[in-house]
Homo-oligomer: A and B are copies of this chain.
């Protein structure tokens, strides 16, 4: 990308901070944490490189400030909890797929998951933001036993969907209509929320050995 840096913006410019955040979010999502540089963010945002640290501090601080949930858990949880508990899995599936359909939501989700594979700080963010602030309160609100375990199983399917559909982009999952995908994973999320988690198959059955 041969975008020239413009030095015309002043630190006080409204929009400068947001332009930096937008460029950083895009680069963290597309390139991952390691390959994103403050300098390239400045180039894409068309600001002087010193403004990136002026507004956002270190690369780690920049990451933490631009990657995160694109919604407030407190705004979303009541809607997920309202209504038939046996349809909470479907509500969660449609909500998640709806978030990923928006460019901002998808960028944040992909950026967070990409970074979580290499940055312990980002892995902690996934645990804190997604599991502790959204999924555990959801499982608790529905009144399930073992809510933290259920939340971590929910997280495994949601994170796996982000990986499979948006990062690894395995077909035909990557191009299926998002509502069809929501329907396909809804019963999984429902069972993790309220179902029996021990299938109690015959213990005598041997595992397949590789």
Q: Report whether B91 and A207 are in contact in the complex, using a CB–CB cutoff of 8 Å.
A: yes
Q: Is the interface of A mostly helix, strand, loop or mixed?
A: helix
CA of A32 to CA of B208 in the docked complex: distance in angstroms?
Answer: 30
Contacts of A167 in B (CB 8 A): 116-117, 123
Flag whether A201 is at the interface (Cβ < 8 A).
yes
Q: Report whether A197 and B184 are in contact in the complex, using a CB–CB cutoff of 8 Å.
A: yes
Most B C-beta atoms less than 10 A away, residue of A91, A161, A164, A170: A170
Flag whether A57 is at the interface (Cβ < 8 A).
no
Q: Report whether B148 and A70 are in contact in the complex, using a CB–CB cutoff of 8 Å.
A: no
CA of A153 to CA of B123 in the docked complex: distance in angstroms?
Answer: 23
Report if A184-B210 is in contact (Cβ < 8 Å); known contacts: A156-B160, A168-B116.
no
Flag whether A80 is at the interface (Cβ < 8 A).
yes
- Residue in contact with A161 in the complex, picked from B90, B123, B160, CB distance below 8 Å: B160
Which of A7-15, A42-50, A59-67, A71-79 forms part of the interface with chain B?
A71-79
Contacts of A75 in B (CB 8 A): 210
CA of A140 to CA of B153 in the docked complex: distance in angstroms?
Answer: 27
Question: What 3 A-B pairs have minimum CB-CB distances, sorted nearest first?
Answer: A160-B160, A71-B210, A152-B173
